[in-house]
Amino acid sequence: MTPLPKSAAPISPAQVQRLQALWHYWTARLGLEPEADRRLRHYYVELLSEGRAAETKQLTRADAARVIAWLERLSRRRAGAENQAAGTAGRHGFPERRQVRPNAAAWRALWAVAGALGMNRQKLNEFIRNHYASAGLGGTGDLRTMADLNRVLWGLKAILRRGPRPRHAAATSDRKVA
């Protein structure tokens, strides 16, 4: 028996895994019921395979590659828009038109800068309360959007760039103490 040409070989397990991950990333915000999600996925599988497959497991490797490439393009476009919104949220002139939740990288950056300034959670919460109470922020628990997290992060970065300020010594007197 001769092996099938590579383009006619069935979808590989790695391709199934990649396709499912991209699909879930792309459709996560739709909030579809499982059955509706499956029907929509099968619709696109059939459309992009030009009718050669009605569901994911029927795809050939070549058709699976086409579907994966299409999903990667869509995911990059979505990720680019989210990254733009996340990076500009909270800046002057960039009103936050949609609520973008802070991502793990933003939290890591916040804690890295706070750590470089010698702040623990308590000191960071105190800093937020003292500087951003007018914006409705009382601590890290109130950082629910990228705009909120960016405000605090940019404030901490400014302090870090400025460097440590000398502590003012208590005023000394020329008088002798008896």
pLDDT of residue 113: 92
pLDDT of residue 1: 45
Q: What is the pLDDT of residues 126-160, one digit of tens each?
A: 999 999 998 889 999 999 888 888 889 988 988 98
Tokens of 173: 């007197």
> Distance between the two ends of the chain, CA-based, in angstroms?
108
Q: What is the pLDDT of residues 97-113, one digit of tens each?
A: 556 788 788 889 899 99
Cβ atoms of residues 91 and 150 within 8 Å: yes
* Choice between 64 and 91, residue whose per-residue pLDDT is larger: 64
pLDDT of residue 4: 47
The phi and psi torsions of 60 (rounded to 5 degrees) equal -85, 170
- Would you place residue 177 in the very low, low, confident or very high pLDDT band (cuts 50, 70, 90)? low
Number of domains in the chain: 2
Residues 108 and 84 in one domain: no
Tokens of 120: 């623990």
The phi and psi torsions of 63 (rounded to 5 degrees) equal -65, -40
Asked, for residue 175, whether it belongs to a domain, the answer is no
DSSP 136: T
Rounded to an integer, what distance in angstroms lies between the CA atom of residue 102 and that of residue 63? Answer: 36
Rounded to an integer, what distance in angstroms lies between the CA atom of residue 135 and that of residue 115? Answer: 23
Residues 28 and 80 in one domain: yes
- Residue closest to 149 by CA, chosen among 85, 106, 93, 117: 106
Q: What is the pLDDT of residues 51-88, one digit of tens each?
A: 999 998 999 999 999 988 888 887 775 565 666 666 66
Residues 111 and 66 in one domain: no
Range(s) of the domain holding residue 117: 104-162
